[in-house]
């Protein structure tokens, strides 16, 4: 049976390949967190003009985040090809060339940056571009293959979306935005290490120095649990600072307590199934936590 060459791929399939490069699910979470920052930066209900600004800022952040994801696919295509969860990516399968992917990334980055600079504000554009460089270059090219602490240090880029959202609405970076940054920064290690625990053989084959590969399963499980405890404290900061009230506090205690329980169970009695459940719960934790901030902002 012959296989169609890249040139013979139908337009919808080619569009789907380019769309896959943007890592849509990851970018959706990024835009969601940025949108939370935008909403919290506006006292009360936003005006029509502010809603329009939020839409423009969300589009700009989405485009630049998609560009960073596409660039990441170029850098990691060899690694992606060795790992089951990433081997399907168009760059890893050779369906898209590096030149095509790089051009696509450049177009997205340029379009997103233009929207942010001219239609939102220059501060948001520069912060978003710095996030692009932090993720696509500093984390992907330098930190990820260099140190098992790559997730911790590189987590700074992943924690930026609410800061971008806040800056889009205020043209400033306030302490509230930094608190949101801190929450995501502390959430990132237990989230990714839970994934790395049950994907350890993939990471071993890829040659990446992820913590379960370099320090073993038991040490990583302890780190996941300890980080969930630190994250619990970080999640209380919006209430302590006065950003939120009891609605958010109740959600933060329940969600963070649940994450700690998963972390403790993972530490004491490991299984791949439990690691998967911990990883999935981490996604629920962050999404519902930020949704609770949103509800709290409008209800009280």
Handedness of CA 265, 271, 275, 280 (dihedral sign): negative
Helix H or strand E encompassing 298:
helix 272-299
Contact (Cβ atoms closer than 8 angstroms) between residue 263 and residue 227: yes
pLDDT at residue 7, as a whole number = 46
pLDDT at residue 208, as a whole number = 82
The pair of three-digit structure tokens given for residue 240, joined into one six-digit string: 């302590």
pLDDT at residue 196, as a whole number = 95
10-residue mean pLDDT profile of the chain (300 residues): values are 44 81 91 94 94 98 96 87 80 90 96 98 97 88 83 88 98 96 96 95 87 96 98 98 95 98 98 97 95 90
Pick the CATH number of 12-172 from 3.30.1490.20, 2.60.40.10, 1.10.357.140, 1.20.1630.10: 1.10.357.140
Q: What is the DSSP letter of 45?
A: S
pLDDT at residue 6, as a whole number = 46
pLDDT at residue 22, as a whole number = 93
Q: What share of the chain is helix, strand, coil (3-state, %, to 5)?
A: 80, 0, 20
How is the chain split into domains, by residue range? 12-172, 174-300
pLDDT at residue 218, as a whole number = 97
pLDDT at residue 203, as a whole number = 86
**Backbone φ/ψ region at 171: left (φ over 0), alpha (ψ -120 to 50), beta:** left
């Amino acid at each position: 049976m012959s296989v169609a060459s890249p040139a013979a791929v139908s337009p919808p399939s080619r569009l789907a390949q380019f769309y896959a490069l943007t890592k849509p699910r990851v970018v959706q979470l990024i835009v969601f967190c940025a949108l939370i920052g935008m909403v919290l930066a506006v006292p009360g209900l936003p005006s029509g003009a502010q809603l329009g600004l939020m839409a423009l800022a969300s589009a700009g952040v989405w485009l630049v985040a998609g560009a960073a994801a596409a660039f990441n696919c170029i850098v990691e295509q060899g690694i992606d090809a060795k790992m089951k969860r990433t081997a399907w990516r168009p760059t890893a399968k050779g369906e898209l060339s590096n030149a095509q992917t790089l051009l696509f990334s450049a177009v997205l980055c340029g379009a997103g940056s233009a929207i942010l600079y001219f239609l939102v504000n220059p501060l948001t554009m520069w912060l978003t571009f710095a996030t692009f460089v932090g993720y696509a270059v500093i984390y992907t090219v330098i930190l990820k293959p260099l140190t098992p602490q790559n997730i911790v240090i590189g987590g700074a880029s992943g924690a930026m979306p609410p800061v971008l959202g806040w800056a889009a609405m205020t043209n400033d970076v306030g302490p509230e935005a930094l608190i949101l940054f801190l929450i995501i920064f502390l959430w990132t290690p237990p989230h990714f290490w839970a994934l790395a625990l049950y994907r350890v053989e993939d990471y071993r084959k890829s040659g990446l120095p992820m913590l379960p590969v370099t320090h073993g399963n038991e040490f990583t499980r302890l780190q996941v649990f300890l980080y969930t405890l630190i994250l619990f404290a970080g999640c209380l900061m919006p209430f302590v600072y006065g950003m939120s009230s009891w609605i958010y506090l109740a959600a933060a205690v329940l969600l963070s307590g649940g994450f700690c329980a998963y972390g403790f169970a993972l530490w004491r009695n490991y299984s791949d199934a439990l690691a998967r459940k911990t990883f999935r719960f981490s996604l629920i934790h962050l999404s519902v936590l930020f949704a609770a901030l949103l509800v709290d902002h409008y209800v009280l």
